[in-house]
Each structure stands twice: as structure tokens, then as C-alpha cells.
Structure 1
Amino acid sequence: MTDRATASIPHEQAVGGSVTVKDVARRAGVSASTVSNVLHGRSSVAPEIRDRVEAAISEVGYVPSAAGRLLRGGRSEIVQLALPDIRSPYYSALAHTVIRQARALDLVVVVEETTGDAEQERRVASSHPNRGIGGTLICPVALSSEDLAGLRPRTPTVLLGEHTAGDVFDQVCTDSRAAAQEVAEHLLGTGRRHLAFVGSPDGAGTGPGTLRLKGLREALREHGLTLAEGAVLPAASFDHETGARVGARIADARAGGLEIDAVVCATDELAVGILHALRGRGVRVPEDVAVTGWDDAPESRYLSPSLTTVAHDLDDVAAAALRLVVGRKADPTRPPSRHVSPHRLVVRESTAPPA
């Protein structure tokens, strides 16, 4: 159904800013709320209705408010950066780095927090250019590789982290397995032999926690060692509070006879909580138990003891991700590519050899 009044809206009027959601709704023959649902990527809209609305958006030249002003002015392209939790020291540092590097490319970054919700991640990863977005950087934690493979983004989209083989999306990641092997070799070099891992269920998968666990196992296997029964401790969240709860369990397990002389944590936040809990239970770090983290959060160097951790090259991550977005825009048909950013092991007091 087409409304004649809106069918004659000229493009010059559209880019001048007078076209509204109601105009799109009349052109598509739907309600304004349906147009809003499409603009926000909500899954409640039937595919045929979504296609009709998106066609109407293109026909009348509608561009959402703030994003539209930037695009109409020709000053900047908008890139959305979708992260699970912007309170995380790692994700906030990543956002800071991406924004800084994007500014040099005349790109504007809009940060979205998905809270690890699958529907939010799906909405972001399926972004349509008519929503004012020229590219997407997303770190998914809820969507599986199979979920991601079923999506076909309409804007250049780059995955951040080891969440898929990269057969659909461009991807920037670090080598978690190799880094975990370096952590294990370091701990074994200090005389530790009874390692534990915190941060992933003991199962299959391609997420960073699982890959770090695999790397740890592989390194131990080369030395004829294994992780003991009960030495793999899953974490529902990778935060301080979860780390403190797991740390208490580790202290109790040691008191009950389980030999643990080193704990490898999937994030620095987990490690901070574990350090707090072990100290409260009278377990000395590093004399009784060594502790390592991941991400080199700013707080890791100021703890007592300071925390041994794996550091990512965030400048390389940001530069590669933005380069892939720009390259995908220039050549939408090229095969997806995977960039592996460097990492380094930062050795501090929490893994000093026991006296």
C-alpha cells in the first residue's frame, strides 16, 4: 500500500531533515511503532514487513536523527562498537583505543553495551545501513559460532575475539591457546606442578575461556602433567565477585587435600577476586599459590602482590578492526579475513618462585 502524498517526497526534502518515521510508515503501509521496531532491529517484525519498511526508508531518504546529521553533513562515518560490559577494565580500554584511532580516520564511534544478551548481539550484528551505521565492531559472548554463521550483515562487520572461525565475518583476535601455553611454561618454570584454571566449563567451544583452557592442557601434556579432578572451576561471570567466590572454593579445596599451587584465571577481574579470597583464608600468594590473570588491566600492576597477566596489543586490535571495516566497505565481495594480534606475558610478583 502506497500513500500518494508521501510517494512524491523529493530526495532534497529528505536530506534536509523533514522526513519522519511517520512518513516511512505511510510509505510502507505500517504503523510508526513497526518502523521503530525495524530501526532498532527487534526480532518481532516479520521478514516481509521488515523488507517493506527498509525499502520505504531508502525510497524516502529517511536517516535517524543524530546519525543522519553527521551523514548528511559528509563529515564522518559512524561505526558502532558493541561490547558485553563497558564497566570491564579491558572493554573500556578497548573502547578508548578504538575511539582514539577512529578519530584519526574521521570516523565517529558509537558504543553499545549488549550485556551479553543474545538478542542484543544479534540485533547489532545484523545492522542495516539505513539505521545510520556504516560499520560494526562486535565482541559477542552469547551467540555461538552456529548463530553467527546464520547471520548475513548488511554493513561491514568485524568480530572481536575468538568466537568463530571467521567464515562469515572478518575477525580480529589474539591467540589464546598460545598465550595459555606461555603462562603454563612460566608457572612450570617456577616449580609449580599442580595448576588450576578458572573461567570456563570443561567442554567444547571456541570462546576465549575454552581456548585458554585447551592451551593450558596442551602445555601440561607436553610435560607429562594434567589438571587434577576438580581443578577446572567454571565462572558464570568474569568479575571480581565471582572470583572471590571461586577463590574461597579453592582455599577450601586446598584445606580438604586437593593440591593446587597455581591458579590461571581467564581475566584479571577474576584474579583480583581470587587474590582477595585467598588472602582472607590465610593462603599466601605467591608463597603458597601463584595466581595469573588475563588482559593486563590497569589495576593489575598496583595490586599487592602485583599480578602476572597476559597483555593484548590494543592498538593493533583497534587498527586492524577499523582497517577491515574500511576495506570491507571498499570491497564488499572479498573473502572474510582473520587478523591475529600479538600478545605478551607480563610477569609480576604474583608468580614469583616460592622460597
Structure 2
Amino acid sequence: MGASLKDVAALAGVSVKTVSNVVNGYTYVTPHTREKVERALGQLDYRPNLSARNLRQGRTGVIALALPELDAPYFAELSRFVIEAATERGWTVLIEQTDGLPAREREVLDGVREQRIDGLIFSPITVGADELSARTDSTALVLLGERVLEGPTHHVAVDNQLAAREVTEHLLSLGRTRIAAIGRQDNPNANTAHLRLAGYREALATAGIAYDERLAPATSNYHRADGARLMRQLLDLPQPPDAVFCCNDLLALGALRTALSAGLRVPEDIAIAGFDDIEDGRYSTPTLTTIRPDKEQVARVAVEMLEFQINGARSAGRRRPVPCEVTARHDLIVRESTSAGRGDGTQVPAAPEATRTP
């Protein structure tokens, strides 16, 4: 068994309470005493019992992260950052996949498989503000994504409309005039897709180019195969596009494969850009121009919001604090798929630092 606080106290010649104060970072311990305790902690290789500490505080030390797809690279990368931020706080992360199904998402809101957790970070696809307002579970909650904007709980998102407009403006700046968009979704719940298409259309309108629905084919999924299929559809048009904005990088990678298989040169014949900056796009041939959301910032802010609710808000007797909206940073990363010879991934600042609104 590992050393206890009592063992450390005996070696340092101080009380157990003094050792506890040092371990928990309290400041009212003299430098001399703190030095003795820290030396004893090191000699005994003391490790705090986080489970016991959490139980004494009425917590489990476990939070949940509920996402639509765990095999989607964007969510996989985001999960890693959430786990890193949670680990720094001594928390364990329970991962849930909802598949975007209404029943699974409602089940998550009502309690993650009856597991006792301290907080939930949730990226919903179907549940809306009404379901959130009717929620009776008092577990700390932070939402990700755009399904519920200005809802009744803390929320972290990326400005998808602005980012999509900026990447489309980049394509326009290359002299491309017949710009397609892969990723339109007709599902009314697909807020992220709607916002990205709105940004694309806004850029076209500003440039005086009429929106052509034939250049924005619909898809229910955002996988490589969907991008490949829809690019084939676009290339079969009497007037195919000279540039394509894809609503995520997986669609863009599929579209890139189809374009190259058709004998087109990228970007000379057709420029292709994506969204999300997943690792695959940094190693594709050509490398992929994309929007880089600050996934680490999204994760860390979400965990900070949970920590505030779990610690600060509850200690103040407030079960549900005033919701806070945070917009995370994003950047346009220009690579070879739109600008030949730019494989280094030139960063074009595209948005200010994260903004918060109470």
C-alpha cells in the first residue's frame, strides 16, 4: 500500500492537517514547514487518493463526454483534448456515442446509463432548447456545437458561418467563379451544415455571384465516400465547378480523390478546401486547405465551465448558473489544394480570440 497522510506527517514531524494543507495547495503554511512536508512527500513517494477525496466532497471525479461519432477524426481529436484537460484536474472521462439518435441523446440528458457523474460535455444533433429547459437532472452541463444557440446552459462553439464565408472568399480571391459546396443538409436539425452553407452563400452574394443549387448537392452524411460521390456528380455537370468548398475535411478528402482520379490537377484545374483541420489533411497529396477550429481551446473552455459549475456555482448554492456562450478561435490554413507550393500550411488569421457572453 502507498504512504498515507499520517505516514508523511510522522516523517515530517508535523500534523496530518498540515500535510493535507500542503497537498491541497493551501497558502497558509510557512515556507520552512512546506519544505519539510514536500521533502517527506518525495521520500515516501506519496500519491493522493483522489477517489477518497472526491467521495468526501460528494463527487465521483468522473465526467462524461457524449459525441455523435467517435470514429470521426474531428471528434477523436477533440476527445483527446478533453481528456487532457480533465486529467489535469484528476478527473476520469466516460465517453458516450449517441450516433445522433434522438432516443440516445435524450437518454444522455436524463443521465448517462445511470452512471453517477459530476458533469457532462455534450454535442447534440437532435435535442433542442425545449428538451434542455425541461431537463430535471441537475448534473453540470456544457454544450458543444450549434444545435442549440443561446440555450439554457453553458455553450462552446465555433463561428461556422464566418469561417465558411472566409474560406469561400479565399477561393474567390484565386479568381474562381464557379464555386461548389459539398455538405448541404436538408435536415432542419443540421444547424452546423446550415450555418456553413449560409457563410458560403454570403460570400458568393457579396461577390455578385448567384447561388446555384446544382453546385450545392445534399448529403445526409459527412464521410469520405459521400465527398467522392458528390464530386463525381459535380464533375458530370455541363459546367463543372472550378473550386469546391467542403463542409468538413472528410468530404474534402473524398472529393480530392475523385478529382485526381478524373485526371484533374488540383489546384490548377479545380481548387478544394475543407473544414476542421484533421490530421489526414496535413498528409494528403496535395495537402488540404481548411478551416482550423481551435479544438484544444474548445475542450479546455468546456472543462473549465464544468469545473466552475461543479466547484464555484454549487458552493455558492446555485444549481444552474447563468449560461455563458463562448465562441472559440478559428484560422484559415492555406495549403496545396488551393495554392500550389503552399504545403507548409500558411495560416491566415480569420477570427479574433474567443469571445464570451454571459
Structures share fold, TM-score greater than 0.5: yes
Q: State the aligned residue count.
A: 285
Report the Cα offset of residue 333 of structure 1. 3.5
Which runs of 5 or more residues in structure 2 are unaligned? Answer: 1-50, 314-318, 342-358
TM-score, normalising length from structure 2? 0.74
Structure 2 distance, partners of 1:69, 1:163, is 38
* 2:337 equivalent to 1:350: yes
Coordinate RMSD, CA, aligned: 2.5
SS of equivalent residue, structure 2 residue 292: strand
Question: Which of 311, 330, 337 is residue 324 of structure 2 equivalent to?
Answer: 337
Matches within 5 A, 1:1-355: 72=55, 77-127=61-111, 131-201=115-185, 207-253=191-237, 257-329=238-310, 330-331=312-313, 332-352=319-339
> Judging changes above 3 Å, is the alpha-carbon distance between structure 1 residues 287 and 334 closer, same or farther for their aligned structure 2 residues?
same
Which runs of 5 or more residues in structure 1 are unaligned? Answer: 1-67
SS of equivalent residue, structure 2 residue 255: helix
> Judging changes above 3 Å, is the alpha-carbon distance between structure 1 residues 153 and 194 closer, same or farther for their aligned structure 2 residues?
farther
Report the Cα offset of residue 152 of structure 1. 4.4
Report the Cα offset of residue 262 of structure 1. 1.1
Percent of paired sites with the same residue? 33
Map of 2:41 onto structure 1: none
Do the aligned residues in 1 keep the contact of 2:60 with 2:116 (CA within 8 Å)?
no
Map of 1:59 onto structure 2: none
Letter matched to residue 193 of structure 1: T
SS of equivalent residue, structure 2 residue 121: strand
The range that moved more, 72-81 or 285-294, is 72-81
Report the Cα offset of residue 211 of structure 1. 0.3
Do the aligned residues in 2 keep the contact of 1:202 with 1:232 (CA within 8 Å)?
no
TM-score, normalising length from structure 1? 0.74
SS of equivalent residue, structure 1 residue 94: helix
Do the aligned residues in 2 keep the contact of 1:196 with 1:227 (CA within 8 Å)?
no
Map of 1:17 onto structure 2: none
Structure 2 distance, partners of 1:307, 1:216, is 18
Structure 2 distance, partners of 1:69, 1:219, is 56
Report the Cα offset of residue 294 of structure 1. 0.8
